[in-house]
């Protein structure tokens, strides 16, 4: 038994440009669980349009298997996809195929952002959602397609059109709070943020307090889902009411 990861060792897959997942996951880590990152090597390319964003997705897909294979030598117990866009790409069926591919490759259970957000929304019984992303329009369309195919209505989505993968992590809390206020409304049951390099885990917890409705940050949803899938039911404050749910 691992001396520190005696409850579970999580392998965590992220792009090399991502500076948020490691920090936020470590803040949410509970005693007896350890996080072991493996990075998909990608360049910090400009993201000015749909063509650029589609190129980014292709770069991630082509390099992720090597990154997955590298982390498996630490003998993890569970696999966590610290990537967002790829898990929504081409809709629900494609998302399920991606999960199966990673499960087949690793032989482990897998947590993905798409499925984790869906599970969180089911907990709250939300049907109409507003979404914040750091993406270009093609990314937003794929996110809306996924949630529509899962049975959710998406009246509003705000893509921040971040200029590069690294710049996603430069978005400040004040900007996120302003955008949350803009997309909220009486027609919205919950707000969902996607894009794992967008730091919104703590912002979401604060936003829930003044909106009085669920605000689901994708990194919080992923880590909550990973813990609960491993029968780890610890509850704690600071990242929204999701961590009070089993």
pLDDT tens-place values along the chain, 246 residues long? 999 999 999 999 999 999 999 999 999 999 999 999 999 999 999 999 999 999 999 999 999 999 999 999 999 999 999 999 999 999 999 999 999 999 999 999 999 999 999 999 999 999 999 999 999 999 999 999 999 999 999 999 999 999 999 999 999 999 999 999 999 999 999 999 999 999 999 999 999 999 999 999 999 999 999 999 999 999 999 999 999 998
Q: Is the torsion defined by CA of 188, 160, 141, 115 positive or negative?
A: negative
- Per-residue pLDDT at 246: 86
- Give the per-residue pLDDT at 71: 98
Residue entry with tokens 């990154």: 67
Collapsed DSSP state (helix, strand, coil) of residue 196: coil
Nearest to 239 by CA among 230, 216, 231, 229: 216
**pLDDT, position 19:** 98
Return the structure tokens found at 131: 């979404």
Instruction: Answer whether 161's CB lies under 8 Å from 129's CB.
Output: no
Q: Is 50 exposed, middle or buried (0-12, 13-18, 19+ CB in 10 A)?
A: middle
Q: Sort residue 231 into left (φ over 0), alpha (ψ -120 to 50) or beta.
A: left
- Whether this model's pTM surpasses 0.85: yes
Model pLDDT, residue 62: 94
């Amino acid at each position: 038994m691992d001396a520190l990861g005696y409850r579970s060792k999580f392998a965590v897959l992220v792009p090399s440009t991502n500076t948020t997942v490691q920090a936020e996951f470590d803040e949410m880590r509970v005693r007896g669980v350890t996080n072991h990152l493996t990075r998909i090597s990608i360049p910090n390319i400009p993201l000015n349009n749909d063509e650029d964003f589609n190129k980014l997705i292709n770069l991630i897909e082509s390099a992720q298997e090597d990154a997955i294979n590298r982390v498996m030598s630490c003998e993890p117990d569970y696999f966590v996809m610290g990537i967002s866009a790829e898990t929504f790409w081409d809709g629900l069926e494609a998302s399920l195929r991606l999960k199966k591919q990673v499960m087949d490759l690793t032989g482990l259970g897998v947590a993905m952002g798409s499925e984790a957000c869906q599970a969180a929304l089911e907990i709250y019984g939300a049907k109409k959602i507003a979404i914040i992303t750091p993406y270009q329009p093609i990314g937003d369309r794929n996110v809306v397609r996924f949630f529509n195919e899962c049975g959710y209505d998406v009246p509003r989505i705000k893509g921040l059109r971040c200029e590069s993968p690294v710049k996603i992590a430069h978005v400040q809390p004040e900007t996120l709070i302003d955008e949350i206020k803009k997309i909220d409304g009486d027609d919205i049951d919950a707000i969902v943020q996607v894009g794992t390099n967008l730091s919104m885990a703590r912002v979401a917890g604060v936003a829930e307090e003044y909106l009085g409705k669920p605000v689901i940050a994708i990194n919080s949803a992923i880590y909550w889902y990973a813990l609960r899938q491993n029968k780890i039911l610890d509850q704690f404050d600071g990242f929204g009411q999701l961590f009070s749910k089993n």
